[in-house]
């Protein structure tokens, strides 16, 4: 009663009180509808520039694919700030949560506390609120609880698993690298940004590919690559239209497909004349360096 119907006491409701109650209930109902939309990954704003289709897809990536429903109260408060600020907060949360929880596996309690306190700041300041407030606090929490060296070590420990559904974190990571690749290559200046906002890769239709074969034929076995074939240094993603590539073909057979791929990481792989330990280590070093710049707020 105090939180939602300030100034009203139980009993003796007058006509003006009833109108106030109805008005407040309409506000609550609208918030509930927004929460339901957010939990399904639905963008609640009209399609407007400068927000791109890729930007809008990040909401589903955050809440549905990464399962970060804890962010819904903050998203609800942020939805009052307009579509651009809301977009900026969603992008920030996706990168931060992937680093903080998915890879570094930090406890969510400090994150929840930060979200709830920031909700109050947003509600209090309204349109005067600056997204940099959240950026600074999230950045501080990442440095304290999920520093970059822990994040990089966590990425290096990711390994492809044959069981269904066990590789979504690897897929998400590689898709994020693809999205921010052009920004990184341009110098990685400022806040991470996706330049190709109208290009969308469907999470369900995009597959993980082993550069060195997952199950190499006897003639193609490389004893130096066998121990690292399921690591980040040997994995990429395929364009949905060519996801039927034979995973166990050797590099020579797949090189042309990599070269003609729409995915920049694959184009870089396709420029290699051969895929061996040296090429794999160089590739791993490159993707980890990209991660250092991209997964910040």
23-34 pLDDT per residue, tens: 999 999 999 999
Q: Is residue 116 part of a domain?
A: yes
Q: Is residue 127 part of a domain?
A: yes
Residues 93 and 166 in one domain: no
Residues 120 and 217 in one domain: no
Residues 142 and 42 in one domain: yes
Count of domains observed in the chain = 2
Residue 281 CA to residue 122 CA, distance in Å, equals: 45
- Residue-level length of the chain: 297
Quote the tokens at residue 40.
């399904």
Is residue 73 a contact partner of residue 122, using CB atoms and an 8 Å limit? no
> So what's the pLDDT on residue 231?
97
pLDDT band at residue 7 using 50, 70 and 90 as cut-offs: confident
What is the rounded average pLDDT of the residues 89-97?
98
Residue indicated by tokens 């791929």:
261
Residues 163 and 290 in one domain: yes
Indicate whether 12 pLDDT > 80: no
Residues 71 and 190 in one domain: no
Residues 135 and 213 in one domain: no
Is residue 132 a contact partner of residue 125, using CB atoms and an 8 Å limit? no
> So what's the pLDDT on residue 62?
97
> So what's the pLDDT on residue 246?
61
Of 146, 169, 199, the one marking the end of a domain is 146
**CA distances for 92 relative to 62, 71, 101, 129, 151, angstroms:** 10, 11, 14, 16, 16
In this structure, what is the dihedral angle of CA atoms 107, 72, 190, 294, given to the nearest 10 degrees?
Answer: 50
User: 227-285 pLDDT, tens per residue?
Assistant: 999 999 999 998 876 755 666 789 999 999 999 899 999 999 999 999 999 999 999 99
> So what's the pLDDT on residue 162?
82
> So what's the pLDDT on residue 165?
64
What is the rounded average pLDDT of the residues 167-194?
96
Domain coverage including residue 286: 159-294
Q: Backbone dihedral region of 11: left (phi > 0), alpha (psi from -120 to 50 degrees) or beta? A: left
> So what's the pLDDT on residue 235?
96
Residues 83 and 136 in one domain: yes
Q: Could you give the count of Cα atoms lying within 13 Å of 34 in the half-sphere of its Cβ?
A: 18
Residues 141 and 173 in one domain: no
User: 115-168 pLDDT, tens per residue?
Assistant: 999 999 999 999 999 999 999 999 999 999 999 999 999 999 999 998 766 799
pLDDT band at residue 45 using 50, 70 and 90 as cut-offs: very high
Q: How many CB atoms lie within 10 A of CB 102?
A: 19
In terms of Cα–Cα distance, which of 214, 269, 220, 272 is closest to 247? 214
Residues 238 and 184 in one domain: yes
Residues 171 and 286 in one domain: yes
State the average pLDDT for the chain: 93
In terms of Cα–Cα distance, which of 138, 90, 146 is closest to 113? 138
Indicate whether 1 pLDDT > 80: no
Quote the tokens at residue 198.
């109208």
Q: State in Å, rounded, how far the first CA of the chain is from the last one.
A: 38
**Quick one: how far is CA 204 from the chain centroid?**
15
Strands 207-210 and 235-238: antiparallel
Rg value, the chain, Cα: 23
Q: Is residue 108 part of a domain?
A: yes
- Residue 211 CB-density burial (10 A; 0-12 exposed, 13-18 middle, 19+ buried): buried
**CA distances for 143 relative to 6, 64, 147, 155, angstroms:** 40, 26, 5, 17
Q: Is residue 153 part of a domain?
A: no
């Amino acid at each position: 009663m105090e939180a939602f119907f300030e100034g009203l006491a139980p009993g003796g409701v007058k006509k003006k009180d009833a109108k106030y109650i109805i008005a407040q209930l309409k506000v609550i109902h609208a918030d509930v509808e927004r929460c339901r939309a957010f939990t399904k990954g639905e963008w609640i704003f009209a399609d407007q520039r400068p927000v791109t289709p890729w930007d809008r897809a990040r909401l589903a990536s955050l809440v549905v694919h990464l399962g970060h429903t804890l962010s819904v109260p903050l998203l609800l408060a942020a939805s009052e700030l307009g579509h651009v600020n809301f977009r900026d907060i969603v992008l920030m949360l996706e990168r931060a949560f992937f680093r903080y929880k998915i890879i570094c596996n930090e406890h969510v309690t400090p994150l929840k506390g930060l979200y709830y306190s920031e909700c109050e700041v947003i509600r209090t300041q309204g349109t005067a609120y600056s997204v940099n407030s959240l950026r600074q606090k999230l950045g501080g929490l990442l440095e304290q609880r999920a520093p970059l060296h822990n994040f990089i070590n966590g990425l290096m420990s990711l390994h492809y698993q044959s069981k269904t559904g066990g590789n979504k974190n690897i897929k998400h990571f590689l898709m994020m690298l693809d999205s921010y690749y052009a920004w990184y290559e341009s110098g990685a200046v400022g806040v991470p940004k996706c330049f190709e906002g109208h290009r969308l890769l469907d999470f369900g239709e995009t597959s993980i590919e082993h550069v060195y074969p997952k199950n190499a034929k006897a003639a193609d076995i490389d004893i130096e690559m066998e121990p690292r074939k399921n690591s980040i240094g040997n994995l990429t993603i395929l364009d949905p239209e060519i996801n039927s590539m034979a995973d166990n073909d050797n590099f020579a057979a797949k090189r042309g497909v990599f070269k003609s791929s729409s995915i920049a990481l694959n184009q870089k792989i396709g420029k290699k004349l051969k895929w061996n330990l040296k090429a794999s280590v160089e590739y791993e070093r490159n993707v980890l360096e990209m991660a250092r710049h991209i997964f910040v707020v």
